[in-house]
C-alpha cells in the first residue's frame, strides 16, 4: 500500500501535547483503512534544543525535511528564547524555505462549537487564504543609529508581482471550485505602495474570473464585519500580517484558539507542506494537559485532504464535531474538565463509532 511520510516537529509548550493526540488519530485511521500507512519521524527541534545546542534546528534541517510528504508541527516559541529568533530560525524558516506561500485557515463554526455570536449566527464559514511567504514578513529592514536619540527601526513590506498574483489567483481557483465569492482585505488608503499595488493586482486577476463575485474591504472595517456580520465572507484573501491577525480574531468567533487549524501549502508539491494549529505554545497552560488538541486534530484532517484521502479528512472533522456535540469530554477552554489525552482518545472513539 501507499506510505505517507510525515515529519513531526512537536516543538514547544503545548506543541508536544497536542501533536501526540494528532498521531493517535492518524494511528486509528491507519488501523481502520489498511490501504495506506503513515511513516513518521520526530525532530526534537525547538527552544529546548536551542538551550542545548545553541540553535533551533540542525544546520541541514531543511535538507532533512525535504523528502517528507508533509510536516506536522505543534508550536514554536517559549519564554527564555527571544521570539524573533525561535520563530525565524524554525517555523518561518520552514514556511519560506519550502515556499509554502498559501496559508489556508478555515474560520468555520463547527457543530457543537461555542461562539460569542450565537445564537445570532450559525453560518460562519469562511476560508481565509493568507499570503504566507512575503509581505510584512519579508524579514527586510534595518536598525539605524542604535543607542542614539535618533534611533530608527525599519520593517519593509515586500509585495512582489509574482507573490501577490499567485496568492490572489489561488483564492480565485478555490472560489471557482466551490462556487463562492472572493473578498480581498487590504489597506490601500494608508499603505500607499504595498496595498495600492495589492488592490491593483486583485482587480486584474478578478477580470480573469468574471463569473465570480468579488468584494474588497479595508482591514479595519473588515475586522468589524467579521464580528457583526461574518456571513458576508466566503473565500477571503489577504496579506501575511492581516491574515495572521484576522484568523486569531476568527478563532475567537468559532470556538477559540483550541479549535483553529491551518495548512501551509506549497501548491507545486516540489517541497513538503506543513500542517499546524494556528495557536502558539501557550506557556500559561503548558505541561498541564489542559491544552485542547482539537485544533491540531483539525490540522490532521487538512493533511489527509492534502494526501488525497478526503473521505478521511471529512471523517476526522466529523469526529471533532461529535466530540463537541457529545460534550462529555472537553478541555477547560471549552468548559470541560478533561485532559488533552482524554480528548484525543474521545476523537478516536468517535472515529471507531463512525466505522
Ligand atoms: P498562544 O496561541 O500560545 O496563546 C494565547 C492564549 O490562547 C493563551 O491563553 C493560551 O492558553 C490559549 N490557547 C492557545 N492554544 C490553546 C489550546 N490548544 N487549548 C487551550 N487554550 C489555548 O499565543 P501567545 O501566548 O501569544 O504566544 C505564546 C508563544 O507561542 C510565543 O512564543 C509566540 O511567539 C508563539 N506562537 C507560535 C505559533 C506557532 O508556532 N505557529 C503561533 C502563535 C504564537
Ligand atoms: C501564526 C503565528 C506566527 C505568524 C508567528 C509565531 C511567527 O502567529 O502562525 O499565526 O505570525 O505567522
Ligand atoms: Mn498567529
Cα dihedral across residues 217, 221, 224, 228: positive or negative: negative
Cα distances (Å, whole numbers) of residue 15 to 11, 135, 255: 5, 27, 19
Query: What ipTM did this prediction achieve?
Result: 0.99
Instruction: Kindly list the protein residues whose Cβ atom lies closer than 6 A to any atom of ligand 1.
Output: 14, 18, 75-78, 83, 87, 91, 257-258, 276, 279-285, 291-292, 295, 333
CA atoms within 13 A on the CB side of 39: 8
CA of 296 to the centre of ligand 1 (A): 12
Interval 219-224 mean pLDDT: 98
CA of 253 to the centre of ligand 2 (A): 19
- Cβ–Cβ under 8 Å, residues 211 and 203: no
CA of 121 to the centre of ligand 3 (A): 24
The position carrying cell 474570473 is 209
How, if at all, do strands 102-108 and 152-158 pair?
Answer: unpaired
Residues 6+ apart with CB under 8 A from 193: none
User: Of all atoms in ligand 2, which is nearest to the CA of residue 95?
Assistant: 12
Helix (H) or strand (E) holding 298: helix 294-306
**Which structural domains are found in the chain, ordered by start?**
1-101+262-355 (3.40.718.10), 115-254 (3.40.718.10)
CA atoms within 13 A on the CB side of 341: 4
DSSP 44-58: --SHHHHHHHSSSS-
Helix (H) or strand (E) holding 347: helix 340-353
- What pLDDT shows up at residue 123? 87
Band (121; pLDDT cuts 50, 70, 90):
confident
- What pLDDT shows up at residue 48? 98
Residue 122 in this model has a pLDDT that exceeds 90: no
Query: What cell does 285 get?
Result: 497552560
The residue nearest atom 42 of ligand 1, judged by CA position, is: 280
User: Of all atoms in ligand 1, which is nearest to the CA of residue 283?
Assistant: 28
- Cβ–Cβ under 8 Å, residues 6 and 74: no
User: Of all atoms in ligand 2, which is nearest to the CA of residue 276?
Assistant: 9
Terminal CA-to-CA distance of the chain, rounded, Å? 20
- Cβ–Cβ under 8 Å, residues 242 and 248: no
User: Of all atoms in ligand 1, which is nearest to the CA of residue 277?
Assistant: 41
Rounded Cα gap, residues 47 and 12, in angstroms: 6
Q: pTM here?
A: 0.98
Interval 60-72 mean pLDDT: 98
Q: Is the peptide bond before 119 cis (omega within 30 degrees of 0)?
A: yes
Per-residue model confidence as pLDDT tens digits over 324-348: 999 999 999 999 999 999 999 999 9
Band (355; pLDDT cuts 50, 70, 90):
confident
Vertex 258 angle, CA 175 and 171, to 5°: 15
Q: Exposed, middle or buried: residue 262 (CB in 10 Å: 0-12, 13-18, 19+)?
A: buried
Residues 6+ apart with CB under 8 A from 156: 138, 140, 141
Amino acid at each position: 500500500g501507499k506510505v505517507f511520510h510525515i515529519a513531526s516537529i512537536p516543538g514547544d509548550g503545548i506543541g508536544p501535547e497536542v501533536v501526540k493526540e494528532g498521531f493517535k488519530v492518524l494511528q486509528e485511521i491507519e488501523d481502520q483503512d489498511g490501504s495506506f500507512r503513515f511513516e513518521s519521524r520526530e525532530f526534537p527541534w525547538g527552544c529546548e534544543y536551542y538551550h542545548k545546542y545553541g540553535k533551533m534546528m540542525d544546520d541541514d534541517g531543511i535538507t532533512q525535511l525535504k523528502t517528507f510528504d508533509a510536516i506536522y508541527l505543534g508550536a514554536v516559541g517559549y519564554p527564555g528564547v527571544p521570539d524573533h529568533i525561535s520563530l525565524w530560525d524554525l517555523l518561518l524558516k520552514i514556511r519560506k524555505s519550502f515556499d509554502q506561500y498559501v496559508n489556508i485557515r478555515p474560520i468555520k463554526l463547527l457543530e457543537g462549537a461555542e461562539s460569542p455570536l450565537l445564537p445570532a449566527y450559525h453560518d460562519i464559514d469562511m476560508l481565509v487564504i493568507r499570503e504566507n511567504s512575503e509581505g510584512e514578513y519579508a524579514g527586510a529592514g534595518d536598525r539605524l543609529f542604535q543607542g542614539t536619540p535618533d534611533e530608527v527601526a525599519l520593517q519593509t513590506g515586500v509585495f512582489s508581482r509574482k507573490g501577490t498574483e499567485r496568492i490572489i489567483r489561488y483564492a480565485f481557483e478555490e472560489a471557482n471550485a466551490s462556487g463562492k465569492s472572493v473578498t480581498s482585505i487590504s489597506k490601500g488608503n494608508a499603505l500607499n505602495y504595498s496595498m495600492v499595488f495589492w488592490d491593483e493586482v486583485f482587480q486584474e486577476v478578478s477580470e480573469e474570473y468574471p463569473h465570480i463575485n468579488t468584494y474588497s474591504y479595508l482591514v479595519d472595517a473588515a475586522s468589524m464585519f467579521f464580528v457583526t456580520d461574518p456571513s458576508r465572507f466566503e473565500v477571503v484573501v489577504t496579506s501575511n500580517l492581516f491574515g495572521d491577525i484576522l484568523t486569531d480574531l476568527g478563532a475567537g468567533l468559532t470556538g477559540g484558539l483550541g479549535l483553529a487549524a491551518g495548512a501551509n501549502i506549497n501548491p507545486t508539491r516540489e517541497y513538503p507542506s506543513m500542517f499546524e494549529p494556528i495557536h502558539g505554545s501557550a506557556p500559561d497552560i503548558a505541561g498541564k494537559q489542559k491544552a485542547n488538541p482539537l485544533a491540531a486534530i483539525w490540522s490532521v484532517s487538512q493533511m489527509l485532504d492534502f494526501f488525497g484521502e478526503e473521505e478521511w479528512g471529512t471523517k476526522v472533522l466529523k469526529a471533532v464535531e461529535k466530540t463537541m456535540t457529545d460534550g462529555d469530554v472537553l478541555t477547560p477552554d471549552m468548559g470541560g474538565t478533561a485532559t488533552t489525552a482524554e480528548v484525543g482518545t474521545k476523537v478516536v472513539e468517535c472515529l471507531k463509532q463512525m466505522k
